[in-house]
Amino acid sequence: MKRRFLRAALCLGLLGTAPVTYAQSVLPLVEQTLPNPDNEPAPVHPVPHPRQLKWQETEFYAFFHYGMNTYTNREWGYGNEDRATFAPTAAPNPRQWLEVAKAAGMRGGIAVVKHHDGFCLWPTATTEHNVTNSGNDYGRQTNIPRDFAEAARDLGMKYGFYISPWDRNSALYGTERYVKEVFLRQCAEIAQYGTDQFEMWFDGANGGDGYYGGEEGRRSIDRATYYDVPNLRDTVHRVCPDCVLWGVGGEARWIGNEAGWAGQTNWSTENRDYVPEKNGMYGTEDGWFWLPGESDAKATNRGWFWHEGESPLSPERLFQMYLETIGRNSTLILNIPPNQAGVLPDASVEALTKMGELVQQRLSADLAAKASVTADHVRSAGVARHYEPINMTDGDKETYWATNDGETTATITLSWDSPQTVRYVELMEYIAKGQRVRKFHIEALSLDGTWIPCAMQVETTTIGYKRIVPLNGSTAASYDEGLQVKAMRIVIEDSKACPLISRVAVY
């Protein structure tokens, strides 16, 4: 009784003190600190969704443009192609595509299953414009999503599909019915080919002229609203929870060019109104959501699709792309076009395999693993977790070195018992808690005992998921004899909050 009176009196301010709100009287505000026995650093927002984190770890994967255009020598079919034109000269072999990707050191692949011409490489219920009506038995038996998913699982690779939102064949394109009855249904059908897909690719080319069921002409759509993205995400994520929706889907961004390079400064954060061609390479430092970059590039000298007379780029050029994308906090999706027999031509196989060898030779014998690693600042340990420098070389992506809160500069030192020949330094931030580092530099202790700055020409600003710095400053084919060093220092000069580094490697 008494208590109730007191509470009512408090509410009405009857006890002579300042008026008290009802909420304060019933739920007294108590200063609360969440328990943090492991002294874990607070996140710097925005942070990636767990599916974006898994996606980022894919790093390097293949793109396979195969379909109607393979048989018409075009890059963009108009949508009026005779279905019989799709007539593979042998059964398309996605397993071979992925084997080559694996030999190149890739961890997955994305196959085009519908390009802008609208021809579907699986037996879909949404349109007659599909493989079941193609020109020969090889064509009619083609089912790329089925065979690609199966091969990927067999080879232990990640897989996903490219479904063009723009459909120059469909009479319904431009109407709401297209989105509901064709596009979203196609995505749902494709999702059924495997719940473990890692990415669906939705191109930005949308609207324009086409066949449109024979009406021909131009159709335009409002990119921001037309594809019902909330529904799209729901449709796909319900079936494929780890599938990142690229481009139109808004979970990973185009790096803004198709030439295989990302900015040296590259943030994985963006704002809604960013212009891909301008900001795509760099991201936006204080962007308000997580939108990591993906670089799409061609491994051949003609189009995305196969063309007679094409040839692959040199392994050295492909290696340079690797450094300028994966080495700059972007993923790399490298296109290799299957030919009219539905296989990758020998020349591509050779170039990609050689490229894989270069990556292996140059970026796998980690000298940091046998160095002694120290840092001038180390975060105080918690009950079950420490933040010692050893966390950067233990090969465990879940452990990281950190400094105490408020310490945003620090020096990491690696030293060896005997001189080492070094060419690249690789760094990784623990991005689950946000991208932090703004500026760093690298120094080497030469054999005469002087510290010399390395890679002066390189903008050593952001790190992000992964940064690879060529110590001679050049990403071009200039794999020289390297530097002779006794020790190396990585100096973090500026960070949004205490830096968290999960890996340092030296090659």
Structure tokens at 440: 């760093």
Q: Show the binding pattern over residues 146-185: x = contacts ligand FUL (CB under 6 A), - = does not.
A: ----------------------------------------
If the CB atoms of residues 298 and 503 are measured against ligand FUL, the closer one turns out to be 298
Decide whether 203 or 242 has the Cβ nearer to ligand FUL. 203
Residue 380: exposure state from Cβ atoms within 10 A (0-12, 13-18, ≥19): exposed
Helical axes 315-325 vs 346-362, angle rounded to 10°: 50
246: contact with ligand FUL by CB under 6 A: no
Residues 363-402, interacting with ligand FUL (CB under 6 A): none
Q: Which C-beta is closer to ligand FUL: that of 76 or that of 290?
A: 76
DSSP 202: E
- For ligand FUL, which stretch binds (CB under 6 A), given 22-30, 198-206, 210-218, 265-273? 198-206
Of the residues 64, 193, 304, 322, which one makes contact with ligand FUL according to CB under 6 A: 304
Q: How far is the CB of 138 from ligand FUL (least distance, A)?
A: 23
3 state SS of 493: strand
Instruction: Supply the minimum distance, in Å, between the C-beta of residue 307 and ligand FUL.
Output: 13
Of 280 and 389, which has the nearer Cβ to ligand FUL? 280
**The one segment of 118-126, 129-137, 203-211, 228-236 that binds ligand FUL by CB under 6 A:** 203-211
- Residue whose CB is less far from ligand FUL, 71 or 401: 71
**C-alpha dihedral over 8, 12, 17, 18, to 10 degrees?**
130
- Selected from 81, 167, 296, 429, the binder of ligand FUL by CB under 6 A is 296
Q: Does position 324 bind ligand FUL by CB under 6 A?
A: no
Q: How far is the CB of 45 from ligand FUL (least distance, A)?
A: 31
**DSSP state, 120?**
B
Give the residues across from 219 on adjacent strands. 208
The residue among 205 and 447 lying less far from ligand FUL, judged by its C-beta, is 205
Residue among 76 and 440 whose Cβ is closer to ligand FUL: 76
Q: Phi/psi zone of residue 438: left (φ > 0), alpha (ψ -120 to 50 degrees), beta?
A: alpha
Site string for ligand FUL, 61-80 (x = CB under 6 A): --------------xx----
203: contact with ligand FUL by CB under 6 A: yes
Q: How many CB atoms lie within 10 A of CB 59?
A: 18
Contact region for ligand FUL (CB under 6 A) — 98-106, 179-187, 200-208, 459-467?
200-208
Q: How many of the other CB atoms lie within 10 Å of CB of 256?
A: 21
Nearest residue (beta carbon) to ligand FUL: 205
Q: Which of residues 448-477 bind ligand FUL (CB under 6 A)?
A: none
* Buried/exposed code over 176-200 (b: 16+ C-beta within 10 A; e: otherwise): eebbeebbbbbbebbbebbeebbbb
The answer to whether the beta carbons of residues 49 and 458 sit under 8 Å apart is: no
Could you tell me if 201 and 163 are in contact, meaning their C-beta atoms sit under 8 angstroms apart? Answer: yes
Residues 6+ apart with CB under 8 A from 348: 100, 299, 300, 312, 336, 337
Exposure of 11 by Cβ count < 10 A (0-12 exposed, 13-18 middle, 19+ buried)?
middle
Give the shortest CB-229-to-ligand FUL separation in angstroms.
18
Binding flags for ligand FUL, 205-234, as an x/- string (CB under 6 A): x-----------------------------
Neighbouring CB atoms inside 10 A of 350's CB total 13
In the bound complex, what is the minimum distance in angstroms from residue 203's beta carbon to ligand FUL?
Answer: 5
Nearer to ligand FUL, 205 or 369 (CB): 205
Stretch that binds ligand FUL, among 23-31, 199-207, 236-244, 337-345 (CB under 6 A): 199-207
421-455 burial, b at 16+ Cβ within 10 Å, e below that, comes to ebbbbbbbbbbbbbbbbbbbbbbbbeeeeeeeebb
What residues line the site for ligand FUL (CB under 6 A)? 75-76, 203-205, 296, 304
